[in-house]
Amino acid sequence: MSQSALVAVLALPALGAALAALLPDRAARLAGTGFAGLAFVASVLLGVAAHTGGWFSYQPAESGAPPIVPWTSVDVSWVPGLDLRLHFGVDGVSYPLVVLTTLLTLLCCLYTIWHVPAGGGRGGTLVALLLVVEVGMLGTFLALDLVLFFVFFEVVLLPMYAIIAGWGGEDRRHAARKFALYTLFGSVLLLVGVFTVVAAAGTADLVTLTSGAVMSRTTQLAAFTLLAIAFAVKSPLWPLHTWLPDAHTQAPTVGSVLLAGVLLKMGTYGLIRVAVGVAPEGARWAAPLLGALAVAAILVGCLVCLAQTELKRLIAYSSVGHMGFVLLGVATLTATGIQAALIGNVAHGIITGLLFFLAGAVKDRFHTGDLAVLGGLRERSPWLSGLLAFAAIASLGLPGLAGFWGEAFAVVAAFERGGGGWVTLGVLAAVGGALTAAYFLRLLRRVTHGPASPAVAAAAAPALRISGMELVAWSPLVILALLVGLVPALVLGLSDIPVQSLVEAVIR
């Protein structure tokens, strides 16, 4: 039962993609969305069927337990000549991300049924590409074989390129190419890193590798450096982030949602699961540098956002800051920090997904994202501006909403780690948190408050209402932002034990 759910989670979107590519436009969109829905159901079933422990049970991990104990797994030989096995499994670290992926893809497909971005190709093809991206992301989160992880990491790249280049804004070609080359640069280093590990350890099995396979210190340092750069490009970590603003700004709404919502998480997930797990000594060695870069990312992201004049670009840069918090959490290498990173990942996926949906809605209605031209949105469209305010406040980390836990506890973890350097980093990150509030409030003042600007006033009244399909696509994210904020144990309860084991293995 749980194994078939695991296979179904991967197979259903792949089937859906094939169908959506072959059927005529309208039928393709419906069929693709149907399969995305089935995949979501399968991912929920996977949790119900496979996770036998309690969902909210905090309990001490058994001492010396391996960091990865999959709830269920599938292991089939594929290419022995390349050490490649089809080895999938799910545990508390990957499961929240799997559900986030299936949910966001489903919402994006639903949104595409009614709303195909103008100036691009067939909507059916877009749905097919979204589903292929979903397969790649799910495969990355589920892979328990290092080489398989790399293969799925690569699968995402070109479909995402095609989504940006095919359905994006005016400068889409440039942005799409920058995205593809940058991320390929990251993933080829991942390839070299993966085989550095495999050649040294003689196995590609992540379960074995993370439970203390012996690699020399030099190999660990080399492997961690390669893997960390690879994941830093994807996450993205300052100063390797420059592909992100262009890609997010030019991508169509659904592309931005998936990019920000899930794609970036592949980097942080990889860092926690692969880089830290496989090369703990390398992680300890690089942690201070990683922490410093993460804080730099937070501050740079915030400062750029304060000066930003375009709505989507602002949200894109805010991602740089938020992912900085996640990376800071990872860099502390404490249980608190890694838990903060995991919940920060999920929260950012939910909230930024919602923000990009809303930014897309604003651009569709007023044909501009320029903060100087927009204004007084609440006069004309109170519901839209209310949702925007909700998402912005959730994103700035108000307690009680999803964004709070990740950011606050990343700072707490830095203080826990102690020592002058980490405390300084914690203080700077907290300053970054305050700046985050500043730029989101600035955004709200510009867009929603004040008298209606000419551009907002000129828009036709019927178009200003929130349509049914928008409500369908957005409301799960609104509910989840509240739910994760109020009951963080939804995510933390699952990842508690594996994170404890991981930290124990790193410190060992």
Partner 1 sequence: MTQSVDHVALLPAYLAAGTAVLVLLADLFVGRRVAPVATAVAGAVATGVVAIVVGAGPSRSTFCVPDACSYVANGRAALMAAVFAFLTAGVVTLSVPLLRAGVAPAGEYCFLLACSMTGGVVLGAAGDLITLIVALETLTLPLYVLVGLRRQTMESAAAAVTFFVVSVVATAVSLLGAALLYTVTGRLHLTLLAPALTGDVTLAGNDPVRALDLPLTSVGIALLLLGLAFKVAAVPFHAWAPPTYDGAPLPVAAYLSTASKLGGVVAILAVVTVALPPGVTGPLLATLAVLTMTVGNLVALRQIRMTRLLAWSSVAQAGYILAPLGALGVADTSTTVVTASVAYAIFFVVLEIGAFAAVVALREPSADGGRIDSYYGAARRHRWVGAALALALIGLAGLPPGLAGLFAKVAVVRSLLTGSSGWLAVVVALNAVIGLAYYVRVAAILYAPDPLARPARPVPWPVAGVLVVATGVALAVGFAPQFVLGWAGR
Q: Which is nearer to partner 1, 114 or 185 (CB)?
A: 185
Tell me how far, at minimum, the Cβ of 222 lies from partner 1, in Å.
7
Map the footprint of partner 1 across residues 422-451, applying CB under 8 A.
Answer: none
Q: Which is nearer to partner 1, 65 or 213 (CB)?
A: 213
Regarding 185 and contact with partner 1 (CB under 8 A), the answer is yes
Tell me how far, at minimum, the Cβ of 22 lies from partner 1, in Å.
11
**In this chain, which stretch among 44-52, 105-113, 157-165, 248-256 interacts with partner 1, using CB under 8 A?**
157-165
Cβ neighbours around 487 below 10 Å, total: 12
Regarding 289 and contact with partner 1 (CB under 8 A), the answer is no
User: What tokens were used for 485?
Assistant: 């904020």
Q: Which is nearer to partner 1, 279 or 315 (CB)?
A: 279
Regarding 155 and contact with partner 1 (CB under 8 A), the answer is yes
Cβ-Cβ contacts under 8 Å for 406 (sequence gap 6 or more): 322, 325, 326, 329, 340, 341, 343, 344, 345, 347, 348
Q: Which of 30, 37, 113, 177 binds partner 1 (CB under 8 A)?
A: 177
- Please tell me the distance from the alpha carbon of residue 13 to that of residue 36, in angstroms, as a whole number: 6
Q: How far is CA 94 from CA 35, 182, 219, 251, 268, in A?
A: 21, 25, 27, 26, 11
Binding mask 107-146 for partner 1 (x = CB under 8 A): --------------x--------------x----------
Regarding 166 and contact with partner 1 (CB under 8 A), the answer is yes
Q: Which is nearer to partner 1, 181 or 479 (CB)?
A: 181
User: What tokens were used for 368?
Assistant: 């501009």
Regarding 236 and contact with partner 1 (CB under 8 A), the answer is no
Tell me how far, at minimum, the Cβ of 345 lies from partner 1, in Å.
24
Tell me how far, at minimum, the Cβ of 337 lies from partner 1, in Å.
31
Place of tokens 């595409």: 112
- Please tell me the distance from the alpha carbon of residue 223 to that of residue 356, in angstroms, as a whole number: 35
- Please tell me the distance from the alpha carbon of residue 314 to that of residue 249, in angstroms, as a whole number: 9
**309 contacts 373 by C-beta, under 8 angstroms:** no
Regarding 246 and contact with partner 1 (CB under 8 A), the answer is no
Residue of 104, 133, 138, 116 whose CA lies nearest to 30: 116
Sign of CA dihedral 213, 214, 215, 220: positive
**159 contacts 27 by C-beta, under 8 angstroms:** no
Q: Which of 141, 195, 356, 405 binds partner 1 (CB under 8 A)?
A: 195
Backbone angles phi, psi at 382, to 5 degrees: -60, -35
Tell me how far, at minimum, the Cβ of 465 lies from partner 1, in Å.
34
Binding mask 256-275 for partner 1 (x = CB under 8 A): --------------------
How many residues in the chain?
Answer: 508
- Please tell me the distance from the alpha carbon of residue 9 to that of residue 38, in angstroms, as a whole number: 8
Q: Which of 184, 373, 452, 464 binds partner 1 (CB under 8 A)?
A: 184
Regarding 151 and contact with partner 1 (CB under 8 A), the answer is yes
Size of the site for partner 1 (CB under 8 A): 36
Place of tokens 């989670």: 9
Q: Is 91 exposed, middle or buried (0-12, 13-18, 19+ CB in 10 A)?
A: buried
Regarding 36 and contact with partner 1 (CB under 8 A), the answer is no
Upper half-sphere CA count for residue 396 (Cβ side, 13 Å): 20
**In this chain, which stretch among 175-183, 248-256, 320-328, 473-481 interacts with partner 1, using CB under 8 A?**
175-183
Residues in contact with partner 1 by CB under 8 A are 78-84, 121, 136, 147, 150-151, 154-155, 157-158, 161-162, 165-166, 173, 176-177, 180-181, 184-185, 188-189, 191-192, 195-196, 198-199, 222
